[in-house]
Amino acid sequence: MSCDKEIVEMMHQYLDGDLDKSEEKKLRAHLQSCQACQHHFHELKRTVALVTANVDLQPSPDFTKKVMSQLPTEKKRNSVIRWMRVHPMITAAAIFFILMMSGVFSAWNQDQLSYPTGKNLIVKNDIVIVPEGVTINEDIEIQNGNVKIEGKVNGDVIVINGEHLTASAGAVSGDIKQIDQIFSWLWYRLKELGQSVFDLTK
Amino acid sequence: MMEERLKKSIKLVKKGDQTAFEDIVSYYQNNVFAICFRMLGSKHEAEDLAQETFIRAYVNIHSYDENRKFSTWLYRIATNLSIDRIRKKKPDYYLDAEIKGTEGLTLYSQIPNDQVLPDNEVESLEMQAYIQKEIMALPAKYRSIIALRFLNELSLKEISDVLEIPVGTVKTRIHRGREALRKRLRHV
Ligand SMILES: [Zn+2]
């Protein structure tokens, strides 16, 4: 072992494919002149050959089957949610169909004013007014009419097929949403329904 | 293209198609098994751990980033599980280690008796058992390198990704592992 450690390091680099041409030349030259290093190098190459040798390392023939049978079975509701995520269009179409069957379209077509009752709201010429001094502590939804807020709403105001008349000086802590188109209205309904479906499955 | 097909299968598994996982298992089973065997030295344990590797991969498939190599992610699970198993071994593991050579032999003695093997092949099977025994004598960190580098022929960069250590450290370990094995196998 009189030779430089550098030579052994070069052997390893060579075996890793890390030597450039000139370094390789240097290594070769040394190996040709030094028997000890030549021997060392042969042993290294042989070691690699031994551990790399066509070892027929294989698991049992039914390995795949065994793995597949051990996979956790998906909970039904998980797979339903997953299915809905994977197929959003079919899900939307199905919900659309259900809504249609359940008569929400006819509800849309009735141009009747609807608003929450029993909340001290005043109605004047299709305008629903939250009067001054009145505070509503929840979301309100007005359909087929305009809304004017003079009092306070601690929640969202949703106006379907109507307008929020902004001249008023009242306060709304949540969002004011105006939904004028049947599709955006539907979208709103779908989101709501979807949300409740996901809430149910939680 | 196999690569493309596997990518598709992984996507399907992510979407909840359990049957698509079969493709992945049958494609990678030999490599995963080889890693576990090189690290644990027993066929029985390797089979067990290779199965666990795939089950973990399936359960955690959502944490696999599709922009990265799937094999890297999978082999990382296999090496981590193997290292855990080695660490968890009680002192009687060392008792086990004494007979690692014979355990290796049982792997190769599973060939049906009626199948007469030529002498040189028997020799090479014994040789394989011997080599595995010598590998088992190395610390686990070198065993994983030997499995990944010499069996599955991963690049240094891939090994560094699997083991989450710098390429420089991978090189050092390969050099030391190769040197240690040279000393152990020089008389074979
Ligand atoms: Zn020399």
Q: How many domains does chain B have?
A: 1
**pLDDT above 90: residue B166:** yes
ipTM score assigned to the predicted complex: 0.78
**What pLDDT shows up at residue A196?**
64
Q: Would an 8 Å CB–CB cutoff place B131 in contact with chain A?
A: yes
pLDDT band at residue B157 under the 50/70/90 scheme: very high
Cα separations in angstroms, B179 against B1, B97, B176: 39, 22, 5
pLDDT band at residue B114 under the 50/70/90 scheme: very low
A72 contacts B25? CB cut-off 8 A? no
For the record, the structure tokens of A202 come out as 């939680």
CATH number at residue B24: 1.10.1740.10
pLDDT band at residue A147 under the 50/70/90 scheme: confident
**pLDDT above 70: residue A121:** yes
If you average pLDDT over every residue of chain B, what do you get?
81
**What pLDDT shows up at residue B182?**
93
Average pLDDT over residues A47-69: 86
HSE-up of residue B135 (Cα within 13 Å, Cβ side): 31
Q: Would an 8 Å CB–CB cutoff place B167 in contact with chain A?
A: no
* B131 contacts in chain A (CB < 8 Å): 50-51, 53
**What pLDDT shows up at residue B173?**
94
Structural domain for B108, as ranges: 2-185
Average pLDDT over residues B55-68: 94
**pLDDT above 90: residue A92:** no
**pLDDT above 90: residue A75:** no
If you average pLDDT over every residue of chain A, what do you get?
79
Which is higher by pLDDT, A61 or A117?
Answer: A61
**What pLDDT shows up at residue A102?**
67
pLDDT band at residue B21 under the 50/70/90 scheme: very high
Q: Give the best-scoring range by mean pLDDT among A85-99, A126-140, B44-58, B115-129.
A: B44-58
**pLDDT above 70: residue B135:** yes
Name the 3-class secondary structure at B66.
coil
**At how many degrees (to 10) do helices B119-136 and B21-40 cross?**
80
Task: Give the integer Cα–Cα distance in Å for A68 and B62.
Answer: 18
Average pLDDT over residues A187-195: 67
**What pLDDT shows up at residue B119?**
45
Q: How many CB atoms within 10 Å of residue B123? A: 11
A16 contacts B171? CB cut-off 8 A? yes
Task: Give the integer Cα–Cα distance in Å for B108 and A57.
Answer: 10
A176 CA: distance to closest CA in chain B (Å): 37
Task: Give the integer Cα–Cα distance in Å for B32 and B57.
Answer: 12
**What pLDDT shows up at residue B117?**
40
